[in-house]
Amino acid sequence: MSRADVVIVGAGAAGLAAAGALRHVGIESVLLEQDPAIGGTWARRYDRLHLHTVRRHSGLPHHPIASDLGRYLSRDEYVAYLQDYARHFDLRIVNGYTVESIHRGRDSRLEWEISSAADSWRARAVILATGHYRIPRWPAVPGRDGFRGKFGHSVAYRNASAYVGKRVLVVGAGNSGAEIATDLVEHGASFVAISIRTPPPIVPRDPFGRPVQETGRLLSLLPPRLADRIARLTARLVLGDLVRHGLPAADWRPYSDRRVPVIDVGFVRVLKARRVQIRPALASLTATQAVYVDGSAEPFDAIIAATGFTTGLDTLIGSPTVLDAAGEPLAASGETTSEPGLYFIGYTHSLRGHLFEANLASRKLAANVKRYLA
């Protein structure tokens, strides 16, 4: 059994931010990361991925992203930055370490035990930074096992090369679903449709030349209903009336519901060109067809489920008092929890950007952990 004052579970952006902020105040930590490489989860995302947040608000604490890079970093540029961040702070990272459980030490209530299949760590404080996107959420679709085409999740999508000349249905219209549908259209799929159960609001990435992240930071200061009205008007002026092009009106509002909208990076263009088709929610599958809730059906060669993820925290933590019914932390990122010595970072739902929030939360976290250890 190994020991450390602080163990951070997860060495993605939020975990690295936590470790960098702790190092800045003189606290050493150990990061346990199941991936064999730093930035590995980012590196496996689809090829066309770029950050939706601007460079100056996407860096981690005390070591900003180099100013010679563009406004929106590519996937590979951000992976390189994360690796540089780990080197800059000389962080102690144990790669290839899959944590299976986190619970109070059996012989000391002042310690936490972080266990894998092979061994364990003991720590005075433990920080969970495994993120929103740990466990893919698969849709429960009757007939899925009998579908003869390819059925995969967006987490495994890289590019459209395997779908050239194919009829493809994307299930789910979040940011990943919209970008994957666009990528398929632009790179050779013969027919692309997107099945929508809950229509999202869509916003331009750079309304009137200003990054939507900047707009979101300002609108977050207003009453939610007013912010939603301004955001809706802005989207209508820039993108037009998308209902005319088959997209149902949004069922929720970003500021009132505290949910991230779809940020348009090409989807609206292919929608207006009728190169991607809007379909109702998926009800079931046959051997060759998708059947929708309105009773209509059509054949597909492949289906990509862009249906999101769960945190999986409920399978890790042996304390039921720190999570809500959805398995997300009750305490805000970086703040103290009902369990002394247990912290979370990287679980904030924010219109200001996940990376921006992780930077802010890591500084609060460092102060709280330093106070706790003292």
145: domain CATH number is: 3.50.50.60
User: Which of 305, 330, 354 delimits the end of a domain?
Assistant: 305
Q: Are residues 179 and 222 in the same domain?
A: yes
Shared domain for 175 and 294, answered yes or no, is yes
Q: Which stretches does DSSP call E strand in the chain? A: 2-9, 30-33, 92-95, 101-105, 108-115, 120-128, 135-136, 150-153, 167-171, 191-195, 202-204, 262-264, 277-279, 282-285, 289-292, 297-299, 302-305, 309-310, 342-344
What integer pLDDT is reported at residue 327 of this predicted model? 87
Domain C-terminal end among 246, 273, 305: 305
Angle (CA) 239 281 136, round 5°: 90
Residues 151 and 295 in one domain: yes
Position 325 scores a pLDDT of: 86
Looking at the fold, whether 149 and 60 belong to one and the same domain comes out as no
What pLDDT score does 352 carry?
A: 86
Range of the domain at 153: 137-305
Same domain, residue pair 341 and 300: no
Task: Report the domain count for the chain.
Answer: 2
Name 222's Cβ contacts closer than 8 Å, sequence gap at least 6.
230, 255
Looking at residue 131, what is its pLDDT?
87
Q: Please indicate, yes or no, whether residues 224 and 173 belong to a single structural domain of this protein.
A: yes
**pTM for this predicted structure:** 0.90
Determine whether 116 is exposed, middle or buried from the number of CB atoms within 10 Å of its CB (0-12, 13-18, 19+).
middle
Which positions of the chain have pLDDT values less than 70?
A: 107-108, 318
Which of 289, 305, 321 finishes a domain? 305
Considering the domain architecture, whether residues 239 and 368 belong to the same structural domain is answered as no
Is the same domain home to 295 and 349? Answer: no
Same domain, 336 and 360: yes
Placement of tokens 């979040």 in the chain: 174
**Type of residue numbered 310:** T
341 and 266 inside one domain: no
Rounded to whole angstroms, how far apart are CA atoms 121 and 103?
11
**Distances 181 to 159, 195, 271, 279 between C-alpha atoms, Å:** 11, 11, 10, 13
Residues 329 and 217 reside in one and the same domain: no
309-348 tens-digit pLDDT: 989 999 999 677 899 988 899 999 999 999 999 999 999 8
Model pLDDT, residue 45: 87
Q: What's residue 326's pLDDT? A: 84
Give residue 134's pLDDT: 87
Same domain membership, residue 256 and residue 196: yes
**For residues 82 and 31, what is the distance between their CA atoms, to the nearest angstrom?**
14
